Amino acid sequence: MSDASGTIGRFTAEGGEYPITIDGREHDSDTKNKSFWNVVFNYLPYALDLYFSQGQLKKANVQVSPSSPGSGTVSTKEIYVLANGIGNLEDSDAKSPDYIRNLQTDMKEQSQITDDDLLAIPLYRPTLPVIEAADNAFNKAVDALKWTLESQFLPTRLSLAGGVREKLKHVLSRPVVAMGYSGGFVPLVEGALFAGTQVKSFISLAGIVSGIAAVGQGVVNLIVQAVDKIQRGVLQGLEDLLNRLFEKIPVAGNVIGFVTSIIGFVQGNVLDRAFSIFKDALKEVGRIYPPALPNALPSSTDVLVNLWGTKDILYDFNLVGARNEVSGFTPGGRLDANQNITKQLFNIEIIGASHFDYMKRGASAASSYMPPGETRAERTWNVTVSQFVTRLILNSTSIDSLARFLRGRNDVLFDTARKVWVVNLPVNP
Amino acid sequence: MRHKSKMIKAIALALLMSPRLSAEEYSNGSLAVPALSDTEKIFFQTGIEREGRELEEKEAYDEALIKYREATNPDVLNHDYDAAVALAGIERIYEKQGRFEQALEQLQWHLARNPAKFEEDRLRLVALIKARDNASSEPIYDHISYLQNKYKNELPPDLGGYTAIVSSHIIYLYDHIADYASGISFVEGILKAYAKIGPGDPYGLGNPYYQVKMAFEADKKDGRESCIAKPGCMGRATKALTQSDYFPW
Evaluate whether B39 touches A110 at the Cβ level (below 8 Å).
yes
Handedness of CA B153, B154, B155, B160 (dihedral sign): positive
Give pLDDT, residue A75. Answer: 64
* Whole-number Å distance between alpha carbons of B128 and B114: 22
Domain that holds residue A383: 79-131+139-207+292-423
Cβ-Cβ pairs closer than 8 A, A with B, add up to 169
Handedness of CA A376, A382, A385, A390 (dihedral sign): negative
pLDDT at B49 over 90: yes
Of the candidates A288, A305, A337, which is a domain's last residue? A288
Collect the ranges in chain A with pLDDT lower than 70. 1-75, 85-97, 103-116, 123-139, 365
Instruction: For A43-73, write each residue's pLDDT tens digit.
Output: 343 344 444 333 333 344 434 333 333 344 5
Question: A254 and A362 share a domain?
Answer: no
Give pLDDT, residue A25. Answer: 33
Question: A9 and A123 share a domain?
Answer: no
Question: A192 and A247 share a domain?
Answer: no
Asked whether the beta carbons of residue B43 and residue A344 sit closer than 8 angstroms, the reply is no
* Whole-number Å distance between alpha carbons of B149 and B166: 11
Question: A247 and A181 share a domain?
Answer: no
Question: A67 in a domain, yes or no?
Answer: no
Q: With 0-12 CB in 10 A as exposed, 13-18 as middle and 19+ as buried, what is A90? A: middle
Question: B143 and B233 share a domain?
Answer: yes
Question: A58 in a domain, yes or no?
Answer: yes
Q: Considering only alpha carbons, which residue of chain A is nearest residue B9? A: A111
Q: How many domains does chain A have?
A: 3
Question: A428 in a domain, yes or no?
Answer: no
Question: A251 and A165 share a domain?
Answer: no
Evaluate whether A157 touches A60 at the Cβ level (below 8 Å).
no
* Whole-number Å distance between alpha carbons of A288 and A215: 10
Best of A391, A392, A422 to substitute, by most chain B Cβ atoms within 10 angstroms, is A391
Question: B45 and B89 share a domain?
Answer: yes
* Whole-number Å distance between alpha carbons of B5 and B24: 27
Give pLDDT, residue B185. Answer: 98
Residue A105: which CATH number? 3.40.50.1820
For chain B, the distance separating the N- and C-terminal CA atoms, rounded to the nearest angstrom, is 43
Q: Which residues of A are less than 8 Å from B244 in CB distance? A: 400
Using only C-alpha atoms, what is the Rg of chain B? Answer: 20
* Whole-number Å distance between alpha carbons of A110 and A80: 14
Question: B113 in a domain, yes or no?
Answer: no
Residue B66: which CATH number? 1.20.58
Question: B58 and B128 share a domain?
Answer: no
Packing angle, helices B38-57 and A98-109, rounded to 10? 60
Q: How many domains does chain B have?
A: 2
Q: Residue A61 half-sphere exposure, CB side, CA atoms within 13 Å?
A: 13
CA distances from B67 to A46, A112, A335 (A): 50, 17, 33
* Whole-number Å distance between alpha carbons of A332 and B159: 5
Evaluate whether B210 touches A339 at the Cβ level (below 8 Å).
yes
Angle at B140 between CA B138 and CA B143, to 5 degrees: 110
Q: Considering only alpha carbons, which residue of chain A is nearest residue B118? A: A410
Question: B107 in a domain, yes or no?
Answer: no
Question: B142 and B82 share a domain?
Answer: no
Among the partner-chain residues B9, B53, B194, the one whose CB lies closest to the CB of A404 is B53
CA distances from A330 to A288, A307, A308, B225 (A): 19, 14, 17, 38
Assess: ipTM above 0.90: no
- Read off the pLDDT of each residue in B198-226 and give the average, rounded to a whole number: 93
Give pLDDT, residue B68. Answer: 97
Question: A273 and A301 share a domain?
Answer: no
Grade residue B10 by pLDDT with cuts at 50, 70 and 90: very low
Asked whether the beta carbons of residue B194 and residue A335 sit closer than 8 angstroms, the reply is yes
CB contact burial A297-311 (16+ within 10 A = b; e otherwise) = bbeebbbbbbbbbeb
Question: B160 and B232 share a domain?
Answer: yes
Neighbouring C-beta atoms of residue A215, cutoff 10 Å: 17
Of the candidates B97, B132, B154, which is a domain's last residue? B97
Instruction: Determine phi and psi for B248, rounding to 5 degrees.
Output: -85, 45
Question: A375 in a domain, yes or no?
Answer: yes
HEC letters along A231-260: HHCCCCCHHHHHHHHHHHCCCCCCHHHHHH
* Whole-number Å distance between alpha carbons of B147 and B151: 6
Question: B178 and B248 share a domain?
Answer: yes
> Three-state SS for A120?
strand
Question: B104 in a domain, yes or no?
Answer: no
Question: A68 in a domain, yes or no?
Answer: no
Cis bond before residue A126 (omega within 30° of 0) = no
Question: B110 in a domain, yes or no?
Answer: no
Question: H/E element holding B7?
Answer: helix B2-17
Question: B175 and B81 share a domain?
Answer: no
Looking at the DSSP assignment, which residues form a beta bridge with residue A335?
A341, B199
Question: A249 and A389 share a domain?
Answer: no
Residues 6+ apart with CB under 8 A from B11: B34
Asked whether the beta carbons of residue A403 and residue B248 sit closer than 8 angstroms, the reply is yes
Question: B68 and B165 share a domain?
Answer: no
Question: A35 and A83 share a domain?
Answer: no
Question: H/E element holding A57?
Answer: strand A56-62
Among the partner-chain residues B82, B113, B247, the one whose CB lies closest to the CB of A400 is B247
Among the partner-chain residues B42, B113, B153, the one whose CB lies closest to the CB of A410 is B113
Question: A348 in a domain, yes or no?
Answer: yes
* Whole-number Å distance between alpha carbons of B198 and A335: 5
Question: A120 and A203 share a domain?
Answer: yes
Question: A109 and A176 share a domain?
Answer: yes
- Report the candidate in A43, A55, A49 with the shortest Cα–Cα distance to residue A14: A55
User: What is the DSSP track for A155-166?
Assistant: HHHHHHHHHHHH
Residues 6+ apart with CB under 8 A from A422: A349, A351, A412, A413, A414, A415
Question: B132 and B79 share a domain?
Answer: no
Question: B214 and B139 share a domain?
Answer: yes
Our CA-based measurement puts residue A40 at a distance from the nearest CA of chain B, in whole angstroms, of 25
Question: A177 and A304 share a domain?
Answer: yes
* Whole-number Å distance between alpha carbons of B139 and B100: 14
Best of A102, A108, A111, A325 to substitute, by most chain B Cβ atoms within 10 angstroms, is A111
A3-12, A395-404, B112-121, B149-158: least confidently modelled range: A3-12
Asked whether the beta carbons of residue A408 and residue B47 sit closer than 8 angstroms, the reply is no
Question: A253 and A350 share a domain?
Answer: no
Domain that holds residue B41: 1-97
- Report the candidate in A242, A241, A231 with the shortest Cα–Cα distance to residue A266: A231
Q: Do strands A303-309 and A199-205 pair parallel, antiparallel, or not at all (unpaired)? A: parallel
Question: B249 and B129 share a domain?
Answer: yes
Best of B5, B38, B114, B120 to substitute, by most chain A Cβ atoms within 10 angstroms, is B38
> Three-state SS for A348?
strand
pLDDT at B88 over 70: yes
Give pLDDT, residue B5. Answer: 45
